[in-house]
Amino acid sequence: MAPSDLRIVGGHLALDLVNTVEPRVPGATDFREHLHTPEDLLDWGLRAGLLDAGEAESVRAAWAASPAAGDQALRATHEVREATYGALLSVLGHSADAAPQLEILSLRWAAATARSALVPGGRGQPVRVVVGTTPAALVPDRLVTEAINLLRTVDVRHLRACPLEQGGCGWLFLDHSRNGSRRWCAMEDCGAQAKARRLTERRRAARATT
């Protein structure tokens, strides 16, 4: 699956970042990677709403001038992603200590803050913070900022993982359904697959008893 087909279902940019590998299994390293190249990263970032087309052009130009900067941004993104996932597992109570992950995010966040600026919002408007004043590092800088914002404010009651034990993919998402009943990352995907599997199992069991 190319990044352009990857579903964006997390309900928050930092969760969509976590969901760029599948399946999402704690501790696993043999996942399917959707962000292979700096170009994948830009493609996904545009679709996820991380940056706009004009910003993507600046980033592309910066990476064209220095391909090493593109590789570095991709590596930083992977690092932010895995640290965010680890920290969220701890928030969910699935792992005890997220101190090493938070340390990684702290360092990345400090660097991102150093590349941010306060700009006037215009007459009668509040001041704005612009993260990503350095195009080459804009993508990981914005992602770590999103991750920190989520980790600081997440309402754990709404944070869910698509259930691996029932054949789901482990992706994380915010459940904003009215009755808090969303179980799958996407019903038409993991939910439908699990339903089909249960049906097959029932048929098999029925056949075995006749």
Of the ranges 41-49, 102-110, 139-147, 183-191, which one interacts with Zn ion (CB under 5 A)?
Answer: 183-191
Instruction: Tell the smallest beta-carbon distance from residue 162 to Zn ion (Å).
Output: 3
**Which amino acid would we find at residue 28?**
A
Instruction: Tell the smallest beta-carbon distance from residue 39 to Zn ion (Å).
Output: 26
Site for Zn ion in 118-177 (CB under 5 A): 162, 168-169, 171
**Which amino acid would we find at residue 130?**
V
Q: Going residue by residue from 63 to 92, which x/- string records binding to Zn ion, judged by CB under 5 A?
A: ------------------------------
Instruction: Tell the smallest beta-carbon distance from residue 3 to Zn ion (Å).
Output: 17
Nearer CB in complex with Zn ion: 22/141: 22
Angle between helices 138-153 and 38-48 (to 10 degrees): 50
Nearer CB in complex with Zn ion: 148/161: 161
| 194 is a site residue for Zn ion (CB under 5 A) | no
Nearer CB in complex with Zn ion: 136/190: 190
Nearer CB in complex with Zn ion: 150/169: 169
| 59 is a site residue for Zn ion (CB under 5 A) | no
DSSP 63: H
Alpha helix positions (H), the chain: 13-18, 38-48, 53-65, 67-91, 99-114, 138-153, 192-209
**What is residue 128's three-state secondary structure?**
strand
Would you state the structure tokens that stand for residue 52, as one six-digit string? 């706009």
- Name 159's bridge partners: 174
Phi, psi torsion values for 143, nearest 5 degrees: -65, -40
Instruction: Tell the smallest beta-carbon distance from residue 29 to Zn ion (Å).
Output: 19
Residues 6+ apart with CB under 8 A from 176: 11, 158, 182
| Contact residues for Zn ion, defined by CB under 5 A | 162, 168-169, 171, 185, 190
